Structure 1
Amino acid sequence: MAFLVKSFSTTCGLLFLFLLARTTLASDFVQTRGTQFMLDNSPFLFNGFNAYWMMHVASDPTQRYKVSNVLRESAAAGLSVCRTWAFNDGGSQALQISPGVYDENVFQALDFVVSEARKYKIRLIMSLSNNYQDFGGRAQYVNWARNAGVQLTSAGDDDFYTNQAVKGYYKNHVQKVLTRINTITGVAYKDDPTVMAWELINEPRCQADYSGNTINAWVQEMATHVKSIDKKHLLEVGMEGFYGDSVPDRKQYNPGYQVGTDFISNNLIKEIDFSTIHAYPDAWLSGQNDDAQMGFMRRWMTSHWTDSRTLLKKPMVFTEFGRSSKDPGFSIASRDSFLNAIYSNIYSLARGGGIGGGLVWQIVAQGMESYSDGYEIVLSENLSTSSIISQQSRQMTALEHKMTRP
């Protein structure tokens, strides 16, 4: 009897610890409440960065130290959210070699990225596909269907959003990634609070329909699919923020053109938890001076922040911004001035509630010249820029603490 009592007591104790561990883990997921991000029932603000390259670099085990170095240096700079790719379709070092066929070694590289992010307490926004041909993207999905003899409606890539076979390929990829059990941590991605959010596709665009309706239907279908697999994590579209037909007067804020998305209607879909914007005034408004470009940026940020708070009633993240060294007249000082202005705007808007933070594009490690796109920042080398990034991290943390106090 004593053995049975002891055994029962031990079992209850283990069960309690197991449930406590599950509770602690579950409470660690970033959530939303109205227009705020929340973590452990307190407001969550952050400063973050993009490092799309992490899985690709980690697929070579001898290069994994670069992932670790960037995560360690970013954590030291107070950066707590990283956006990265959870896809590489076809081509070199592909994760998805062909529809439904995966390279386990590359998947283990993604496992490493997630486990290292967890180690350095950096949360991940993981994107599931790409609008562009880099790393496969929707062009690769359409080519797979074309090569399989699927009847497509056009010579372009917009069948990605409408063709049933192509949509099936994408849904299978979502299922595969979300249910992946990390070979290092033993935790399924869909159960890991290291993941802050899933992103449907990086910068969706549709030339066949500038109204935003085609992408809207696709977002609704795919968001529903993601949430049917994973209800714990947040979900966003991956949008740049271009306005469409649903609120015509907002088109005045676009940089002179549309791309087939509708910031309002696409983000109103209930399964989408927060809105995103990107901005590259040096590329979008090429030829205009710094004052004109910064004026655009302020209007772009303020209009989307206002719409997220009042129309969408969801929080927003500024998920991509930067200044390219390839632009005429570039200098480190001009980039630092640009980032200072953006960070100041983010902080000002965050004080009013409704924006979680910003993710600069992009942070890389030393010795990654092949990934240079003009926007790259090496924290250990670009000390003035690193100082500005760290200062923003401190300010956002201080504001978060101020909002948390009763």
Structure 2
Amino acid sequence: MQVQLGRIVFATLAGLASIGGAAAQAAPGEDGFVAVKGSHFVRKGQPYYIAGTNLWYGGYLGAPSGVGQRARLTRELDRLKALGINNVRVLAVSEKTAMKSAVSPATTAAPGEYDEQLLKGLDFLMAELGKRDMTAVLYLNNFWQWSGGMTQYLNWFTGSPAHDPNASKDYERFMAENARFYSNDKAQAAYRQVIAHIVGRVNTVTGRAYRDDPAILSWQLANEPRPGNSKATKAEKTVYIKWIADTARYIRSLDARHMVSSGSEGLAGSSQDEQLYLDAHRTPDIAYLTYHLWPANWGWFDPKRADQTWAGMMDKSLHYLNLHIDDAKRLGKPIVLEEFGLNRDGASFAIGSGTTVRDRFYGEVFGLIQQRAAQGDPVAGWNFWAWGGAGRAANADYWWKPGNDFVGDPPQEEQGLYSVFDSDAATLKVIGAAAQRLHGLEGGKR
């Protein structure tokens, strides 16, 4: 595919022109855009904390036709706003793939070919967030295959079959292969074309360019980018660090008003190499650190043996949280726990099953983050995974099929695995109380 360099250059120049005009209007953090001051977020001159969720499918619900459900989307946002949620983390683009464990339709049918209905869905979502004074983190790629992601880029440009680890069960192979994305020149050129297309887009609902929209909290390079598998080499780690720095710098060349984040899971996504995690976030074009917490996925917790595995899981989880907050202190940057979750009681997927263990886990996580934030540590907030809202699993085996409701669990997982539904009253009470406590820290300037 021949990359349309002219379009990218034009978008870059237009972005720089827009930036220059904005800089004359207000200082960072004073103009409605979220910015970093010291090691904390500020907005409109006041401290700003994220009490958020993951709503990866928000742009899908916003579409004017097809999979869109705009009435549901507005109800979901109203419910989240009432809970005290002020931020959502959203999949901005997806790639069409033959893999069964991926969502469909997709934003990008082929390099340079976009589904305008889904992009209008993202426009609608951003407009509705703006009405509610909420913000979004928009991620522009995915290390995992459930939205096509890096796997599909490699399929387009190397001709290699799109490897679906849900089918092969070989995640080590998958991760090693996916890391080739960072050094594939054609894939990187196409990825940057997508970045320029989204960052330079004018919202069809508001008439406002995305680069000028304060409802965007940050652009994110990808969902959970990794340098390779658990045995990533020094060379692979070097390529990964450079990719983060170069891509963040490129986004900032198009749009210097918005922050850029990596989407990293932390140590779990860094081959357990703390120095790699620090180096990946050291570049000045990455505004803040991110990390995720998945005790069951990492083998720390067995939901079918909750009593026996709880204590060990919580020890490891709290250590993991504290370690990353301490890393943020070392770099002098804010940090967001942008994914965490736990199974329903007994590892059930049924919406009527209990959430006692999950609610206890949420309480512990919220408590530690609140404590560290109140102490003045560089904690910028949290996004729980994930909002299922009014969505419901449609199939007896709980696996998603095209045409089913979107919920918090993407198609690579059972629908109900980690979703928080609007009927989970006890969980909603825990989330709402935690959001209220966190927002309580916003009352005065640091």
* Fold in common (TM above 0.5): yes
Paired amino acid for 1:129 = N
Shift in Å at residue 144 of structure 1? 0.8
Shift in Å at residue 66 of structure 1? 2.1
1:220 equivalenced with 2:245 (yes/no)? yes
1:107 equivalenced with 2:150 (yes/no)? no
1:26 & 1:45 partners in 2: Cα distance? 15
**Are 1:181 and 1:187, in contact at CA under 8 Å, matched by a contact in 2?**
yes
1:394 equivalenced with 2:445 (yes/no)? no
Question: Which residue of 2 is the match for residue 83 of structure 1?
Answer: 89
**Are 1:243 and 1:263, in contact at CA under 8 Å, matched by a contact in 2?**
no
**Are 1:49 and 1:362, in contact at CA under 8 Å, matched by a contact in 2?**
yes
1:34-53 → structure 2 map (5 Å cutoff): 34-53=38-57
1:271 equivalenced with 2:296 (yes/no)? no
Question: Which residue of 2 is the match for residue 347 of structure 1?
Answer: 370
Shift in Å at residue 243 of structure 1? 7.0
Partner of residue 30 from structure 1, selected from 29, 34, 37: 34
Q: 1:103 to 1:243 in 2, by over 3 A?
A: closer
Question: Which residue of 2 is the match for residue 240 of structure 1?
Answer: 265
Paired amino acid for 2:373 = A
Q: If the length of structure 1 is used for normalisation, what is the TM-score?
A: 0.84
2:382 & 2:437 partners in 1: Cα distance? 13
Question: Which residue of 2 is the match for residue 316 of structure 1?
Answer: 335
Shift in Å at residue 210 of structure 1? 4.5
Q: Which moved more, 1:52-61 or 1:171-180?
A: 52-61
Question: Which residue of 2 is the match for residue 68 of structure 1?
Answer: 74
Q: Which moved more, 1:69-78 or 1:25-34?
A: 25-34
- Considering only aligned residues, what root-mean-square deviation do their CA atoms show, in Å? 2.7
Please, which runs of 5 or more residues in structure 2 have no aligned partner?
1-20, 98-103, 161-174, 303-307, 394-399, 401-406, 408-414
Paired amino acid for 2:365 = I
1:204 & 1:373 partners in 2: Cα distance? 24
Q: Which moved more, 1:368-377 or 1:229-238?
A: 368-377
Q: Which moved more, 1:273-282 or 1:364-373?
A: 364-373
**Are 2:345 and 2:354, in contact at CA under 8 Å, matched by a contact in 1?**
no
Partner of residue 118 from structure 1, selected from 107, 122, 130: 130
After superposition, what is the alpha-carbon deviation per residue over 1:256-314, rounded to whole angstroms, capped at 9, x for unaligned?
x64899211000111000000101112212447111111111111111111101x2110
Paired amino acid for 1:52 = W
2:389 & 2:301 partners in 1: Cα distance? 28
SS of 2:337's equivalent in the other structure is strand
2:356 & 2:78 partners in 1: Cα distance? 25
Shift in Å at residue 40 of structure 1? 1.6
1:337 equivalenced with 2:379 (yes/no)? no
Shift in Å at residue 59 of structure 1? 3.1
Question: Which residue of 2 is the match for residue 194 of structure 1?
Answer: 215
**Are 1:123 and 1:195, in contact at CA under 8 Å, matched by a contact in 2?**
yes
Q: 1:395 to 1:326 in 2, by over 3 A?
A: closer
Q: Size of the alignment, in residue pairs?
A: 369
Percent of counterpart pairs with the same letter? 26
2:114 & 2:240 partners in 1: Cα distance? 27
**Are 1:50 and 1:83, in contact at CA under 8 Å, matched by a contact in 2?**
yes
1:269 & 1:48 partners in 2: Cα distance? 25
Larger Rg: 1
1:295 & 1:67 partners in 2: Cα distance? 37
Question: Which residue of 1 is the match for residue 6 of structure 2?
Answer: none
1:361 equivalenced with 2:385 (yes/no)? yes
Question: Which residue of 2 is the match for residue 283 of structure 1?
Answer: 297
